[in-house]
Amino acid sequence: MVAYSELSKEELLKLKNELEEQFSEVKAKGLNLDMSRGKPSAAQLDLAMGMMDVLNSKSDLKCQEGVDCRNYGVLDGIQEAKQLLADMMEVPKDNIVIFGNSSLNVMYDTIARSMTHGVMGSTPWCKLDKVKFLCPVPGYDRHFAITEHFGIEMINIPMTESGPDMDLVEKLVSEDEAIKGIWCVPKYSNPQGITYSDETVHRFAKLKPAAKDFRIYWDNAYGIHHLYEDKQDYLIEILMECKKEGNPDMVYKFCSTSKVSFPGSGVSAIAASDANLVAIRKQMTIQTIGHDKLNQLRHARFYKDIHGMVKHMKLHADILRPKFEAVLEVLEEELGGLGIGSWLAPRGGYFISFDAMEGCAKAIVAKAKEAGLVMTPAGATFPYGKDPKDSNIRIAPSYPTPEELKIASEIFVLSVKLVSIDKLLEEKK
């Protein structure tokens, strides 16, 4: 493979003609493909259909503590659901509170509470002149949407292969009292599939924030979402690490069963120190009499324990792995060595992140659309939808079939090649 940058203007023009012909051929097929949606396929949802049968009109609907799950009661989650999600989050059962069907909702509420009522007695953020958040990039668009919604200023922190740039995080957090939080997806991150290294987690736990109400928003959405049995990433458990470092209150952990059971109909939870949970429960008693205990019971009885859940995740992996591999194979075969894009092969999670040559991402997504392939909008992985290098594109392989993914990936690489050639020709003008 010769890197495109090594090619002469004439060679590039010749190549462009050939590729344009290929592009016209696929375009003529009138395809309708989608690699934008990070959601499980129907086959994955089918895996949890047994959950629909664990409760019926004959079932004993009392939970372990003897409460009738059909009725009011039990504010912060039934014992068996707490145990299941605590094991999933690798924290003691007493350090978790069960919420409703969406962890994103819990994150939104956590920010909203901090705005209106402060954090464990601190000044409510809405009374401050300025509130800022650190945002590792590329990252999850819905995190950024929450902080943008509340008028919180977002600061980009570049991701490295071992997590966020910790030199920058340490510097900013220790200097600026207006910085109140950082969004983290620490395992199989969205979108790069990166897992924070031991050193990164240690450095997080040792942070010395200027703001007493600074919190790490540790959204471990993909904690048990491995693709392989033999190649799995390991993440140090941060709640214990923060406690060891004398910073027990500095982290909120979030998770849900959205991509374990049913997205939108799962169970979510927050894990935090005792002191944080006191503040959270205080608000919770005003907000609700309790979340859906029947759904908690359904989850606990279906999975039985964390081993049941881990077994279930292997079935998800069997469906997802060939899809990731189909995309990675095309990327490697078609773009390897050309110097017009880079990507990582994740060992888990839901995404592959692609970095095109600077200034090309928007044009690539538009080009792919011409041939009937919908990608996540370029820029979506950055705060305010603005990728300063216009380079990152998120690929979501979970929803289409492996066959569709192969064709979709071919359209994608063709689009990358054509847009990159135009960029190189522009530079040669």
Which residues are at the interface with ligand PLP (CB under 6 A)?
Answer: 38, 102-104, 140, 185, 190, 219, 221, 256, 258, 263, 268
Q: In angstroms, rounded to a whole number, what is the distance separating the alpha carbons of residues 315 and 299?
A: 17
Q: In angstroms, rounded to a whole number, what is the distance separating the alpha carbons of residues 26 and 311?
A: 40
The amino acid occupying position 199 is E
Residue number with CB closer to ligand PLP (26 or 383)? 383
Query: Minimal distance in Å, beta carbon 5 to ligand PLP?
Result: 34
Residue number with CB closer to ligand PLP (23 or 302)? 302
Which candidate, 233, 226, 232, 230, places its Cα nearest to that of 321? Answer: 226
Write out the two tokens for 409: 């990936």
Residue whose structure tokens are 């205990």 = 293
Residue whose structure tokens are 């939970």 = 63
Query: Minimal distance in Å, beta carbon 257 to ligand PLP?
Result: 8
Residue number with CB closer to ligand PLP (102 or 283)? 102
Q: In angstroms, rounded to a whole number, what is the distance separating the alpha carbons of residues 408 and 372?
A: 9
Residue number with CB closer to ligand PLP (35 or 330)? 35
Query: Minimal distance in Å, beta carbon 319 to ligand PLP?
Result: 17
Residue number with CB closer to ligand PLP (197 or 381)? 381
Residue spans of beta strands (DSSP E) within 362-404 = 373-374, 392-395
Which candidate, 377, 323, 376, places its Cα nearest to that of 349? Answer: 323
Query: Minimal distance in Å, beta carbon 93 to ligand PLP?
Result: 20
Q: Residues in the chain, how many? A: 429
Query: Minimal distance in Å, beta carbon 425 to ligand PLP?
Result: 37
Residue number with CB closer to ligand PLP (302 or 351)? 351
The amino acid occupying position 70 is R
Q: In angstroms, rounded to a whole number, what is the distance separating the alpha carbons of residues 51 and 400?
A: 24
Query: Minimal distance in Å, beta carbon 189 to ligand PLP?
Result: 8
Indicate left, alpha or beta for 193 from its phi (over 0: left) and psi (-120 to 50: alpha): left
Residue number with CB closer to ligand PLP (191 or 209)? 191
Query: Computed over its alpha carbons, how large is the radius of gyration of the chain?
Result: 23
Write out the two tokens for 146: 């929450």
Write out the two tokens for 407: 């064709």
Query: Minimal distance in Å, beta carbon 65 to ligand PLP?
Result: 25
